[in-house]
Amino acid sequence: MNSQPNLPVPKPAARSEPAFVPNPLRLVAAPYLAKNQRRSRFLWIGDATQPVTEIEITPNLSSRYQIPRAADLPVVTPFRLKILHFNDLHGRIAHLAPEGNIPVFSRLVFRYHQQQRKYADNPQAGVLLLSAGDDMVGTPFDALVSEGNHPYDLYQALGVDAAALGNHDLDLGTHALAKMIQRSGAFPVLSANLMPPAQLKKCVYPAALLDVKGVRVGIIGLTTSAQMKGSDARNLTFVDPVRVVKNLLPVLRPYCHVLIVLSHLGYDLHSTSATVEGYGDRQLAAQLPRGAVDLIIGGHTHHILNETCLDQGNIVNGIPIVQAGTLGRFLGEVTITLRDQQQPATVTNAKLSVTADLPVDQAFEQIQITPIVASLHQKLNQPLGIVANHPDLETDAVLNDFASHESAFANFITAGMVAQARKKGYAVDFALTDAAVVRTGLPTDNLVYGDWFAVMPHADTLRLFQLTGEQLWALLQDNARRANRCGEPHLERGFVQFSGQIRYQIRLGENRAAARATEIFVQGIPLKEQLAQTFTFVTHSFIRQAACHWERQFQQQYPAIALFDLDQQPSKDTEILLREALISHIKIDGGVTKAGGVVRDGRLQIDDI
């Protein structure tokens, strides 16, 4: 019989209450908005990603805000709160049509001013104007951002009450965003589920509290973690939005007659217009206590909701959800009615106004918009030089053959990336790019800024990677599998083109699994002799991101072959815009020229035998 050794009996762990960790949110007064709009406005500062334990009121707030509960504040009821909202403007403050500039933002301004005038002397009604995020990036107006021209300035001038932080608002990097918000002074940008890095701590807040004629309106901002393209934005931490709203509810609710979530999460997890991660607004509403907030104003997925009236299908768990399309085509209008203070606020109406049908606020158009559009036209018409005569620069070649063979256009782009990265002090060995960064070809004669913007409308920034020679070998083998094969359509497969420092051959073989990269040379030396060496290369932030769909299909077809995942490699982001870096390169040689790199030099040979 085996004797069991006497094991020491573990002592039961001492039962202890979880330690109380104080995490107050501080309520501070925000500066006034535009001069004509002395609405009291407050910001909640602190960490909403942890349970919030109390509200701390800064002593300099007026006695009115020393009263902790909204219920004790007398409000003249019934009160109608009119909320105008837009989302995903992407900087499109005007539509640049061939026949001239068609006003967009000034029409929203007209409606806002009209509503303000209508309710100005009515103590039982007030107006708010909110943006649900993605205020910038994605239209030619991006060309002006580097000169300090961006929508937040206009919002500040107009008196937009708050905006949620959208994923594209981070495309240009957190430093650039911080600068834009600071320049706009009092304009509040909200995101409660972002753990803000140091540079955003004093610019992005979890929530705001607005006082509209004595009615307190709480606004919680939320940001999707999806589609973070820009430089350091990918390294940001976003916390589960349901948890964050639940952290805030018990402490904010008593302060608010009306509580709104201003969300850039996207409408629904199953949306196809943009990637929604974790929760869409529908899933968020379903997870909150019933009716916990009075309204979710959404964005990100460009949904056109409640065109004529509040659709019952957009009320989830007692919480109405609204969203107003994209690019300023619609202005959302919601009415919230406060019948008396004993009853919760109710959304009594929601609809969309078609922006094109609204009159233009001529004063705003002339003073604020016209100068911006004029400088945009000037910028877009800025001559950049000549265009070399090469078939690879034509739109037809760009759209069909970018991944079929060596491309003189890709060679120009990678040469420019190497030169500009080195000029900025980054010791790079080579560059790579993919077709997703190039949207069209070039004109056949002279090049203006607008032509180059059409080629690269995305806000990619330069990104640096390090690979060992062995990893580079794996990357090249992987690349061979992504090349266009005879008779197949050009899909976005993430095929990368290299700068001239890399020369190799691709043998396509009988199928993608059999494709091989061979005869690989780096700086004229066989890669085989440099497998232990570390190489630094420069690429751009959105590299291979458009290839996810094809990658999933490939993995299903060839589960034994691991694709090379660039995102898993150590990388460093810069805030250098690819488009602007290449414009600097273009200017050096007076255009897109052979001297700048428009040449096929046999660095890549694809052999389909």
Region of 34-42, 58-66, 161-169, 239-247 interacting with Zn ion (CB under 5 A)? 161-169
Those residues whose C-beta lies under 8 Å from the C-beta of residue 493, and which sit 6 or more positions away, are 403, 482, 484, 547, 550, 551
CB 157, min distance to Zn ion, A? 24
CB 321, min distance to Zn ion, A? 16
Q: In terms of Cα–Cα distance, which of 232, 536, 585 is closest to 423?
A: 585
Nearer of residues 264 and 579 to Zn ion, judged by Cβ: 264
Nearer of residues 300 and 481 to Zn ion, judged by Cβ: 300
Peptide bond into 151 cis (omega under 30): no
Nearer of residues 134 and 365 to Zn ion, judged by Cβ: 134
CB 166, min distance to Zn ion, A? 5
**314 SS3 class:** helix
Amino acid identity of 176?
A
When binding is defined by CB under 5 A, the residue of 300, 379, 390, 603 that contacts Zn ion is 300
Nearer of residues 134 and 333 to Zn ion, judged by Cβ: 134
CB 459, min distance to Zn ion, A? 13
CB 226, min distance to Zn ion, A? 8
Amino acid identity of 521?
F
CA 100 to chain centre: 29
Residue 571, H or E segment = strand 571-577
Nearer of residues 140 and 280 to Zn ion, judged by Cβ: 280
Taking a C-beta distance cutoff of 8 angstroms, is the pair 506, 440 a contact?
Answer: no
Where residue 300 falls (left for φ over 0; alpha for ψ -120 to 50; beta otherwise) is left
Region of 185-193, 293-301, 305-313, 453-461 interacting with Zn ion (CB under 5 A)? 293-301
Taking a C-beta distance cutoff of 8 angstroms, is the pair 182, 199 a contact?
Answer: no
When binding is defined by CB under 5 A, the residue of 167, 420, 501, 539 that contacts Zn ion is 167
Region of 106-114, 295-303, 499-507, 522-530 interacting with Zn ion (CB under 5 A)? 295-303
Q: Is 90 one of the binding residues for Zn ion (CB under 5 A)?
A: no
Q: Is 166 one of the binding residues for Zn ion (CB under 5 A)?
A: yes
Nearer of residues 146 and 275 to Zn ion, judged by Cβ: 275
Nearer of residues 189 and 432 to Zn ion, judged by Cβ: 189
Nearer of residues 133 and 596 to Zn ion, judged by Cβ: 133
Taking a C-beta distance cutoff of 8 angstroms, is the pair 336, 295 a contact?
Answer: yes
CA distance from start to end of the chain: 73
Q: How many Cβ atoms from other residues are within 10 Å of residue 237's Cβ?
A: 11
CB 557, min distance to Zn ion, A? 32
Secondary structure tally for the chain: helices H, strands E? 13, 32
Taking a C-beta distance cutoff of 8 angstroms, is the pair 82, 125 a contact?
Answer: yes
Region of 48-56, 158-166, 431-439, 588-596 interacting with Zn ion (CB under 5 A)? 158-166
CB 217, min distance to Zn ion, A? 24
Considering only residues 29 through 58, tell me which ones interact with Zn ion, judged by CB under 5 A.
none
Taking a C-beta distance cutoff of 8 angstroms, is the pair 226, 299 a contact?
Answer: no
Please give the DSSP secondary-structure letter assigned to residue 343: S
CB 457, min distance to Zn ion, A? 16
Nearer of residues 169 and 406 to Zn ion, judged by Cβ: 169
Amino acid identity of 89?
L
Q: Is 573 one of the binding residues for Zn ion (CB under 5 A)?
A: no
Nearer of residues 134 and 281 to Zn ion, judged by Cβ: 134
CB 333, min distance to Zn ion, A? 22
Locate all alpha helices (DSSP H) within 325-446, ordered by sequence. 362-364, 370-380, 395-401, 408-423
Cβ-proximal residue to Zn ion, closest one: 300
Nearer of residues 326 and 479 to Zn ion, judged by Cβ: 326
Nearer of residues 322 and 467 to Zn ion, judged by Cβ: 322
Considering only residues 509 through 548, tell me which ones interact with Zn ion, judged by CB under 5 A.
none
Compute the distance between CA of residue 492 and CA of residue 467 in angstroms, rounded to an integer. 24
Residue 468 burial (C-beta neighbours within 10 Å; 0-12, 13-18, 19+): middle
CB 233, min distance to Zn ion, A? 12
Compute the distance between CA of residue 513 and CA of residue 124 in angstroms, rounded to an integer. 70
Instruction: Please name the residue that has the structure tokens 């100005």.
Output: 120
Instruction: Please name the residue that has the structure tokens 């009291």.
Output: 40
Cα–Cα distances in angstroms (integers) from residue 85 to residues 160, 169, 464, 547, in the given order: 10, 17, 39, 34
CB 227, min distance to Zn ion, A? 6
Residue 46 burial (C-beta neighbours within 10 Å; 0-12, 13-18, 19+): buried
Q: How many Cβ atoms from other residues are within 10 Å of residue 358's Cβ?
A: 18
For residues 110 to 139, the per-residue mask of contacts with Zn ion, x marking binding by CB under 5 A and - elsewhere, is ------------------------x-----
Nearer of residues 111 and 229 to Zn ion, judged by Cβ: 229
CB 302, min distance to Zn ion, A? 8
CB 90, min distance to Zn ion, A? 9
| Binding residues for Zn ion, total number by CB under 5 A | 4
Region of 6-14, 165-173, 390-398, 588-596 interacting with Zn ion (CB under 5 A)? 165-173
Question: Binding residues for Zn ion, per CB under 5 A?
Answer: 134, 166-167, 300
